[in-house]
Amino acid sequence: MVRLFLSLIFIFSFSGCHNPQQDDNLKPLPNAQEVNKQLIPSQQKFIRQETDEINQYIKLHNYNMAATSTGIRYMIYEHGTGDIAKVGNYAQIAYTISLMDGTLCYDSKKDGPREFRVGKDDVESGVHQAVELMHKGDKGLFIIPSFLAQGIAGDRDKIPPSSVVIYDITLLKLQDKP
């Protein structure tokens, strides 16, 4: 009974703190369509800039790369003989991750191979897409736009915000169960 009484006192004390004059000063929040209308042009400009930088990088290195519909550039430079990866497979990859300026960020020789469930686990979406292009044993080079990599925040360690990343991946293992 005491709890109920204390709860009611608490509720009434805070409900009396409302000031109707404050409501007049509040501005309505823009709806999602208005926000999108303002953000889309700047995002499109950023994506065009990033795509131009990727194209210059490819040209500078004389790479012959294909492109996915999402903007990943890739080339499989050594072909394996295993099955092609598909969503739900468990994959193990050896990798290096670097920036377009050549800075090495991560290397599986130091950090160990990465294991994950393709299309399911918490891995950058660009890595999922890259692995789905590979057969077991393939080695490939993948240039992944920032929005499919670490995004606008980076990884708060070695990959800066809004960075294109270059993955050199070897698909070591591919299986249906762990």
Task: Give DSSP secondary structure letters for 129-174.
Answer: HHHTT-BTT-EEEEEE-GGGTTGGGTTSSSS-TT--EEEEEEEEEE
Asked if residue 85 lies in contact with residue 131, where contact means CB atoms within 8 angstroms, the answer is yes
Q: Which of 131, 129, 101, 99 is nearest to 113 (CA)?
A: 131
- Please determine, for residue 173, whether its predicted confidence score (pLDDT) is greater than 60: yes
Residue percentage of the chain with pLDDT more than 90? 65
Q: What is the mean pLDDT of residues 108-133?
A: 93
> Between 59 and 13, whose confidence is greater?
59
pLDDT band at 121 (very low <50, low <70, confident <90, very high): confident
In the chain, domain spans: 65-175
Tokens of 88: 């739900």
Pairing of strands 73-78, 139-144: antiparallel
| CATH classification number, 65-175, choose in 3.10.50.40, 3.40.190.10, 3.40.50.2000, 3.20.20.100 | 3.10.50.40
User: Which of 160, 147, 142, 140 has its CA nearest to residue 68?
Assistant: 142
pLDDT band with cut points at 50, 70 and 90 for residue 5: very low
What mean pLDDT, rounded, does the chain reach?
Answer: 85
Q: Are 85 and 91 in contact (CB under 8 A)?
A: yes
Instruction: Give residue 90's pLDDT band: very low, low, confident or very high (50, 70, 90).
Output: very high
User: ∠ at Cα 107 (78, 54), nearest 5°?
Assistant: 65
Reply yes or no on whether the pLDDT at 138 is more than 70: yes
Q: Which residues contact 96 (CB under 8 A, 6 or more apart)?
A: 104, 106, 107, 108, 167, 168
Structure confidence by residue, pLDDT tens digits, 142-163: 999 999 999 889 898 999 999 9
pTM of the model: 0.78
